[in-house]
Amino acid sequence: MGNWDVLAELDPLWTILSDPTKKFGKWDSKEFFGTGAKEAERVLALCRSHSLDISFGKLLDFGCGVGRMTRGFSHFFSSCTGIDVSSKMVGLAKQFNADVSKCDFVVSDRPELPFESNSFDFVFSLLVLQHLPTKTMIRGFIAEFIRVAKDGGVIVFQLPNEVPLRRRIQLRRRLWSLLSAVGVPQSWLFKTAGLAPIQMNGISKDQVESCISSHGARVQAAERYDLAEDEYHSYYYIVQKPAKVQA
């Protein structure tokens, strides 16, 4: 929680979309939010390619950051709710998206989503689950996505498969924690030492699909998120919660 607030102060746009050429405040906000609109179009095209029938009512963007994807999807859905663990990120989301009446933003650090079951037509998450500290937490939120989706609703989330051991060690994150604990300024760690407290995690495709099916939903497709990823890669899991059969 605290680390994401720190990063929201240091370089919020790069923290969300970590293009190495855009670090240290080099993202242009119009270009940054434009990437969200393009990605939203791509995601919906993927859903259409698998013949999914989408209701364009309420959308949930889990781990919304400053609202890049929340805003992107607002071109298509009646209302879009972004939720994030960082109060500072949500504060920025409200500022950046004050001109978009369809978007609202919520702060929550609970392991359960603060929404009623069967609330959203579409649940989305990108570049978020991989930063949760444990696989148990990741599986817990996948179950929550299914719970809050409406019957017949669509869920799309991105998650890497198993991250190689050398990437899991994450020396830069560990150095950040150690040096922060002894009082080294976090701005120096980020800007000068090139450190960041960002964690990487993943779950194998078989285990993700097993988790989804165990909570009553169906995996319609698993599409590669980024073809440039080599050592390990991520999938977009395209999931549908079964509609109730009318008696």
For 162-205, how does the pLDDT look when each residue is reduced to its tens digit (9 = 90+)? 776 666 667 778 898 999 999 999 999 999 999 999 888 999 99
Q: Is 241 helix (H, G, I), strand (E, B) or coil?
A: coil
What is the C-alpha to C-alpha distance for residues 149 and 52, in angstroms, rounded to an integer?
Answer: 15
The tokens describing 109, both together, are 């650090």
Terminal CA-CA length for the chain: 46
Q: Which CA distances in Å does 220 have to 64, 74, 237, 242, 247?
A: 24, 24, 8, 11, 25
Q: Which domains does the chain have, with CATH numbers?
A: 2-163+202-240 (3.40.50.150), 166-199 (no CATH)
DSSP string, 207-228: HHHHHHHHTT-EEEEEEES-TT
The DSSP element (H or E) to which 70 belongs, if any, is helix 68-73
109, 1 Cβ separation under 8 angstroms = yes
pLDDT digits (tens), the chain, 247 positions: 579 999 999 999 999 999 999 999 999 999 999 999 999 999 999 999 999 999 999 999 999 999 999 999 999 999 999 999 999 999 999 999 999 999 999 999 999 999 999 999 999 999 999 999 999 999 999 999 999 999 999 999 999 997 766 666 677 788 989 999 999 999 999 999 999 998 889 999 999 999 999 999 999 999 999 877 776 689 999 999 999 855 5
* DSSP code, position 21: G
Q: How far is it, in rounded angstroms, from Cα 11 to Cα 236?
A: 26
